[in-house]
Amino acid sequence: MAAPGKIDALSQFKLYPALGPLGHMGFSQSNVMMVVATVLALGLLWLGMRPRAMVPGRLQSAAEMLYEFAYNMSVETIGPEGRRFFPFIFTLFLFLLFGNLLGVFPYFYTFASGIVVTLALTLMVVILTTLVGLWIHKLHFFSYFVPQGVPKALLVLLVPIEVISYLSRIISLSVRLFANMMAGHVMLEVFGAFVIMLGGLGIAGWLPAGLALGVNTILIGFEVLVAVLQAYVFAILSCIYLHDAVHLH
């Protein structure tokens, strides 16, 4: 923990080896959270769908709502072809949703607050969309980078711009998720440190400490919102990129 009088907001993102012998193979607490998120997501679907009731219970309703939400999102955004990409989108969405929501709990680690993780996920999405575009349109896919109705001379400028714009998705998609998750946790840490520091000042500090605690309480609710929203944003942007790859604009 931080020395008294200093706010140490970033040490919470430090990775350390987890699970003893496994940890020495580079298995950190971030990886543990990924496994936990995956197990929880699979467990919700498996346990929820076991009754197979006509009138669903609570768990089954939750599982069905998640399924239908992701299904509608992929079909409405990508088009009818979205059905083929639905398993991918659903997996991505559930993984991030559970990971982000777990990260709100104290002592838990948010794996999406590491740029390595989000960058790896983004690379997976972008490489997949590129391969899908090449698979469906063969070499015609490269016409995606050539805007229509433009004088030929300008293409020298516009094609590199389009290529850069395409490649910048890798950064914007990964940084968006990473920055949102990290910023929220830094805020929580800062206001948590305020509570302790102000509370230590004696009776005069109790009111501001209470205020900071109130702010932290609101921030936790806000974090839950951000966790769900960012999982959704990541999934819908993946859908939009897949739509572009399938339809070429």
Partner 1 sequence: MSKDQGGPDAFEERLRAARQRQGLEPRPPTPGQDAGDQGPSALAVGMRVSVELVSALAVACAIGWGLDRLLGTRPWFLIAFVPLGGAAGVLNVWRMFAPRRGAGPADTKHSPPPAGR
Q: Which of 73/197 has CB closer to partner 1? A: 73
Tell me how far, at minimum, the Cβ of 77 lies from partner 1, in Å.
5
Q: Which of 175/190 has CB closer to partner 1? A: 175
Tell me how far, at minimum, the Cβ of 22 lies from partner 1, in Å.
35
Helix axes 115-137, 155-199, angle to 10 degrees: 150
Tell me how far, at minimum, the Cβ of 162 lies from partner 1, in Å.
8
Q: Which of 29/118 has CB closer to partner 1? A: 118
Q: Which of 172/217 has CB closer to partner 1? A: 172
Nearest residue to 210 via CA among 194, 224, 222: 194
In the complex, which residues of this chain contact partner 1 (CB under 8 A)? 72, 75-84, 157, 160-162, 164-165, 167-172, 175-176, 179, 239, 243, 247, 249
Query: By the 8 A CB rule, do 24 and 104 touch?
Result: no
Tell me how far, at minimum, the Cβ of 41 lies from partner 1, in Å.
23
Which residue is listed with tokens 């000042």? Answer: 201
Which residue is listed with tokens 């698979």? Answer: 135
Q: Copy the structure tokens of residue 74.
A: 């992929």
Nearest residue to 29 via CA among 105, 94, 120, 110: 110
Q: Which of 42/120 has CB closer to partner 1? A: 120
State which amino acid sits at residue 91. T
Query: By the 8 A CB rule, do 198 and 205 touch?
Result: yes
Other C-beta atoms lying within 10 Å of the C-beta of residue 126: 19
Tell me how far, at minimum, the Cβ of 195 lies from partner 1, in Å.
24
